[in-house]
Amino acid sequence: MMDLRLPIGIFFVLVGLIMVGYGVVSPHDIPHITEKVNINLYWGIVLLVFGAPMTLFGWKAEAKAKAEMKAKKL
Amino acid sequence: MDISTLFAAVAVAAPHSGAIIHLHGIDWAILVVYLLFVVGIGIITGRGSKTSEDFFLSGRSLPAWITGLAFISANLGALEVMGMSQQGYEYGMMTANYYWIGAIPAIVFMGIAMMPFFYGSKVRSVPEFLKKRYNEGARFINAFTFAVFTPAISGISMYALAVVMQDFLGWHFAQSVWVSALVVLVYTFMGGLTASIYNEVLQFFLIVLGIAPMTIIALIANHGWAHFKKWIATHQLPFLTPDQVAAAAAKPGTAVHQMPATQWMHTFQNTLTQNNPMHITWPGVVLGLGFVLSFSYWCTNFLVVQRALAAKDMNSAQRTPLLAAFPKMIFPFIVILPGLLALPLLPHLFPGNTTVNGHLIPATESFNNVMPLMMAKYYPAGLLGLGLTALMASFMSGMAGNVTAFNTVFTYDLYAVFIKPNAPDKHYLWVGRIMTIVGIVISVGFAYVVRGQSGIMGYTQTIFGVVNAPLIAVFLLGMFATFTTPAGGLWGLLVGTATSVTLWIIRSYPGLPLWHHYNNNTTGAFWGAVWAFCAGAGATIVVSLFTKKKKDEELVGLVYQLTPKPPQDANLPWWKKPIVLGVLALVLTLILNLLFW
């Protein structure tokens, strides 16, 4: 069965990239507060920091499982 | 449905023509990526569903971290996110009792004491456990009530979400209902429990990462925690009884009692009397919520037990609820705290404050909608898409959880017993898929029924709690006492439920006997649960004394005293030992309780 970390990781990397890209291209501060915080940029980075290792671990586990399957078939 | 949402008043906002939130392209992009992923996961996991056990129980193959997160996510409906933030505003940190008293102890008990019997007996559902321990009658009562109420609760959740989407985004009610139902249908139909669980884990992270920024932003908007506490120390807040809420809603400007806002920062302060925002006393909280209602829900409801039954081995099954306990205990900071922190930021959401400059504030701007209102105010385009997708995910995870539990109980405990026993496995797999469609259609139908008569909503949730409350008595006496008999279990369920329903009727009609009247619904429900438990336990014991018990051999694996203890794996690292995880969860919960005492 598919390693769940892979789709979750890819999902958050994608959404993280969308938010970081939007934060860079069209900076929006948090409305109605005095502090200037480009929240899309920062929160997009948080999503990337979460998603990237998930993708990596999931991808490694998938590759390992596939190699084991191949070895079994041989 | 969760105990914590049981008493959550639900958003019943009047239809509103103009949208409050306007979505941008980026918000749509995030929503579309999410929808593509959940459907994709359904298609991929669907390839692995070849037998009924694959479809209903994920082939009992999943690791503990996945089933653990699904365990939380399945009962994390949209009503919890909306309802808990509302109660954070209305009652403050007292709402955290639903987690630190009303969830964690029961979840830990479930993992350590009860899971060995559910998983070890190889039952496929909770009603099947009742059949093995007691008799077919006990299974039927449990399966029937579960099959009736589960899609109804799912429909209520769907209605609540559609109303929010209608009021805030201007989406048509039918659009929200059918689009979300169709997406859930596609992935649960194709991948069964595995698709539901996989998506629940994705949804769990999405809910956390989509809603957690609200706590951070609300803290920034309040200029920090210390500044917020200063505001709390210098303000008074409405001390509302249900009668006052109704009066204030009917007549804006009605004077209500006030109490110091500092009371909003505590979980147990002034619970010797009812002089606290929730109007409850501590014995009702500890016995009614912390013991009867909480244990009945977390230890016997198939919606949550099913996630643990999907685990790959006994250790993973035991760790499913135990691992879930840790994120669950910090959820108040994500769902309750934004409501509490909204008090200075959106100060006009209490009933009685319904006018600004003499103009009526629309019903959407009540504390029922504090979470979407906060999002509308503080989330810019982009983050808003993530937040709304998280709200939608919370709804979908709850609905898929309900539907997958419903199709399993219907197929295994009603269809395969009373309609067509001994059919080939492929037939039951087919019935399960059909019942997935039926469950979703009933949910949609119920969303429309509730839309027409919103009063039904409160009743259905209350009745579900009422029906659930006596269950734990029968389960505890079944698992931890050898003398209880099949007739005892059956009568325990009947008498407990009858008591619970009777007390609810008495509470609902002020003209009936006065001894079971309370000045608010929550206290009444807590005490009703306690008396129903006593009646159910009493009936089980008394009837068991006069009826024939099952042979000891039939009860091996079902009753503690008659089940050989499984060999302890000494090589397990400490973080995989159920008892270590359980004690750690309880200690951390105790610390949280003391911090907010």
CATH number, domain with residue B449? 1.20.1730.10
How high is the pLDDT of residue A35? 79
Name the phi and psi angles at B355, rounded to 5.
Answer: -130, 140
How high is the pLDDT of residue B255? 62
Residue B252 host element (H or E): none
How high is the pLDDT of residue B454? 60
Q: Residue B442: helix, strand or coil by DSSP?
A: helix
**Better-scored residue on pLDDT, A29 or B335:** B335
For residue B191, tell me if it sits in a domain: yes
Q: What is the signed CA dihedral for B570, B572, B576, B580, rounded to 10 degrees?
A: 30
The yes-or-no verdict on residue A31 having pLDDT over 80 is yes
The rounded distance, in Å, linking the Cα atoms of B18 and B7 is 30
For residue B514, tell me if it sits in a domain: no
> Mutation test of the interface with chain B: which of A5, A8, A47, choosing the one with the most B Cβ atoms within 10 A?
A8
Contact B220 A37 (CB under 8 A): yes
The rounded distance, in Å, linking the Cα atoms of B339 and B341 is 6
How high is the pLDDT of residue B387? 94
Please give the tally of structural domains in chain B: 1
For residue B591, tell me if it sits in a domain: yes
| Overall average pLDDT of the A29-50 stretch | 90
How far away is chain A from the Cα of B440, in angstroms, using its nearest Cα?
25
List the Cα angle B215/B340/B366 in 5-degree steps.
110
How high is the pLDDT of residue B243? 63
How many of the other CB atoms lie within 10 Å of CB of B309? 24
How high is the pLDDT of residue B7? 33
Chain B positions touching chain A (beta carbons under 8 Å): 26, 29-30, 33-34, 37, 40-41, 44-45, 48, 61, 66, 194, 198, 201-202, 205-206, 209, 213, 217, 220-221, 377-378, 380-383, 386
The yes-or-no verdict on residue A21 having pLDDT over 90 is yes
Give A36's pLDDT tier (boundaries 50, 70, 90). confident
The rounded distance, in Å, linking the Cα atoms of B355 and B332 is 30
For residue B240, tell me if it sits in a domain: yes
| Residues whose CB is less than 8 angstroms from the CB of residue B40 and which lie 6 or more positions away in sequence, other chains included | A7
How far away is chain A from the Cα of B499, in angstroms, using its nearest Cα?
45
The distance from CA B37 to its chain's CA centroid, rounded to whole angstroms, is 25
Of A19, A28, A30, the CB nearest to B217: A30
The distance from CA B429 to its chain's CA centroid, rounded to whole angstroms, is 28
Contacts of A39 in chain B (CB under 8 A): 213, 217, 380, 382-383
Of A8, A33, A50, the CB nearest to B201: A8
How high is the pLDDT of residue B164? 84
**Token pair belonging to B433:** 């898929």
How high is the pLDDT of residue B451? 83
Contacts of B55 in chain A (CB under 8 A): none
How high is the pLDDT of residue B78? 64
For residue B490, tell me if it sits in a domain: no
Contact A19 B40 (CB under 8 A): no
DSSP letter assigned to residue B380: P
How far away is chain A from the Cα of B382, in angstroms, using its nearest Cα?
6
The rounded distance, in Å, linking the Cα atoms of B150 and B562 is 33
Q: Which of B106, B148, B114, B142 is nearest to B126 (CA)?
A: B142
For residue B37, tell me if it sits in a domain: yes
Residue with tokens 């309900």: B402
Chain A residue with CA closest to B59: the answer is A1
How high is the pLDDT of residue B351? 67
Q: Residue B258: helix, strand or coil by DSSP?
A: strand
How far away is chain A from the Cα of B341, in angstroms, using its nearest Cα?
14
Contacts of B26 in chain A (CB under 8 A): 18-19, 22
| Per-residue pLDDT tens digits for B499-533 | 998 888 888 776 776 666 676 677 778 888 899 99
Q: Residue A4: helix, strand or coil by DSSP?
A: coil
Q: Give the residue ranges of chain B where pLDDT is below 70.
A: 1-18, 78-79, 240-256, 351-364, 454-461, 510, 513-517, 519-520, 568
For residue B492, tell me if it sits in a domain: no
How high is the pLDDT of residue B270? 82
Q: Residue B62: helix, strand or coil by DSSP?
A: strand
Average model confidence (pLDDT) for chain A?
90
The yes-or-no verdict on residue A67 having pLDDT over 90 is no
**Token pair belonging to B461:** 């949730």
How high is the pLDDT of residue B280? 81
Give burial (CB, 10 Å; 0-12/13-18/19+) of A12.
Answer: buried
Bridging pattern class, strands B355-356 and B359-360: antiparallel
| Residues whose CB is less than 8 angstroms from the CB of residue B127 and which lie 6 or more positions away in sequence, other chains included | B139, B140, B142, B143, B146, B302, B409, B412, B413
Of B33, B44, B213, the CB nearest to A11: B33
- The parent domain of residue B324 ranges over 3-468+567-595
For residue B449, tell me if it sits in a domain: yes
How far away is chain B from the Cα of A15, in angstroms, using its nearest Cα?
6
Q: Alpha helices, DSSP H only, in B425-577? A: 425-452, 455-468, 471-480, 486-508, 521-546
How high is the pLDDT of residue B1? 38
